[in-house]
Amino acid sequence: MLKKTQSSLDRRTFVKGTAAAAVVGPWVVSSKVLASSGELNVLMWSDYLPEPWIASFEAKTGIKLNYTGIGSNEEIINQMKASKGAGFDICSPTNNRSGQWTDLELLQPWDYDAISNIENANPSMLKVGGTEWNFGDKGSHWLPHIWGTEGIGWRTDLFVPEGGVPSYGDVWNPENAGKTMMRVHSGMLGAGLHMEASGQMDAGSVWSAYKDEETMRKVWDQILAFCIKNKSNLKLTWNDADTQKNGLLNDGVIVGQTWDGPPLALKTAGEPVSYQAPKEGAMAWVDGMSLSAAAANTEQAYEFVKFCYEAEPAGVAIDSHGYNSAVLGADAFSGANYKKNFAEAYPGDSLANLNPWPAEPQWYADVRTEYENKFQAA
């Protein structure tokens, strides 16, 4: 096993690591993945494994990949809890959700020694598994896979950000009434960051809410009141990539708080859509790979991880889904569109101003759901 580290991922380390993933040159993999037979059942975000990537994996390994797409962390947890992990070999929780998995006993630790190219993974992101996902001091229960951000996506033919830099406040601007979208829980958080930046709430309030429930309720009471007051601004709410794409293309949305992948995929396809980190700072996350405690195809799971950590297929995939890879040097195998999109999405000091999502305990998730429900019922 890789020696465990006690240091945790802070903002400076995360930014340094993600920036390295974006600019480091190609990483040479010294040996080919050995062929294996059988099947593999993967529960993963719905747009992370493009068909050409799957075909390449199956051709190289001889493993049939059964891919179940999901759209939220809640869906991952619910499906895994319903079957106690049976039926899935790998699932893909987000880095900040470790506190919601600690006591479920649905995952097992990875053996780093069985992943011959693990050094290809971004070390700052890999460290998250060795610290925040090191359940019972048994080793990492999570490996980094895809990273991205949540910021602002818009129709370039229908909306122009003020001063060329978007804001979470654009979702709530009366000038855009009836033509905006967000995901409820992260949209409310984005509203809070806008409230801080515009002087409607004390600076630092949003992130202080992770401290304890009393603090959270004081902060989210303010956010809830603001969001309910301006709820009519929203055209729709989303919970997956397709809804974001349809909102921008077909449903009359001109600007919204979105993941980076969906609008950038549309941009690559030639649609009048763009995405950029807002002035308040994009919210950054890393989706990972976790091994089910009930995995029936463990050998195949390790072959999958090794293939994911090859720079070339990782680079080809990011051209399709529009997110970013945790594999060092993957960008060297991406196309010109990806590089252009990345530069335009994170101009200037945008990477230095990322807001990595803090580790999220279960009490926070429960209270947040309460506020989501209040907003939706209003």
Q: Could you tell me the end-to-end alpha-carbon distance of the chain, in angstroms, rounded to an integer?
A: 51
CATH 3.40.190.10 fits 11-147+284-355, yes or no: yes
d(CA 274, CA 341): 9
| Span 163-188, average pLDDT | 97
Q: How does pLDDT run across 254-270, given as a tens digit for each residue? A: 999 999 999 999 999 99
Q: Give the model's confidence band at 132: pLDDT under 50 very low, under 70 low, under 90 confident, else very high.
A: very high
Query: What pLDDT is attached to residue 209?
Result: 97
Q: Give the model's confidence band at 26: pLDDT under 50 very low, under 70 low, under 90 confident, else very high.
A: very low
**Looking at residue 260, what DSSP letter applies?**
S
Cβ proximity of 337 and 271 under 8 Å: no
Could you please report the per-residue DSSP string of 282-311? -EEEEEEEEEETT-S-HHHHHHHHHHHT-H
Flag the least confident range among 146-150, 183-187, 352-356, 366-370. Answer: 352-356
d(CA 4, CA 111): 12
Q: What is the mean pLDDT of the chain?
A: 90
| Span 116-123, average pLDDT | 96
d(CA 197, CA 201): 8
The CATH code belonging to domain 149-283+356-377 is: 3.40.190.10
E strand residue ranges, the chain: 38-45, 63-70, 90-91, 107-108, 143-155, 180-182, 234-237, 255-259, 273-276, 283-292, 324-325, 355-356
Q: How does pLDDT run across 285-312, given as a tens digit for each residue? A: 999 999 999 999 999 999 999 999 999 9
- The set of long-range contacts for 306-309, using a CB threshold of 8 Å and a minimum separation of 24, is 306/33, 306/115, 306/116, 306/117, 307/33, 307/57, 307/60, 307/61, 308/145, 309/115, 309/117, 309/118, 309/120, 309/121
pLDDT at 18 exceeding the cut of 60: no
| Span 199-223, average pLDDT | 97
Q: How many CB atoms lie within 10 A of CB 203?
A: 10
The domain locations on the chain are: 11-147+284-355, 149-283+356-377
Q: Give the model's confidence band at 9: pLDDT under 50 very low, under 70 low, under 90 confident, else very high.
A: very low
pLDDT at 351 exceeding the cut of 50: yes
Query: What pLDDT is attached to residue 37?
Result: 66
DSSP-derived 3-state class of residue 264: helix
Structure tokens at 216: 């959270």
Question: Is the fold of 11-147+284-355 the same as that of 149-283+356-377?
Answer: yes
Q: Name the residue among 86, 189, 186, 91 with its Cα closest to residue 141.
A: 91
Query: What pLDDT is attached to residue 125?
Result: 93
- The set of long-range contacts for 314-317, using a CB threshold of 8 Å and a minimum separation of 24, is 316/52, 316/53, 316/56, 317/48, 317/49, 317/50, 317/53
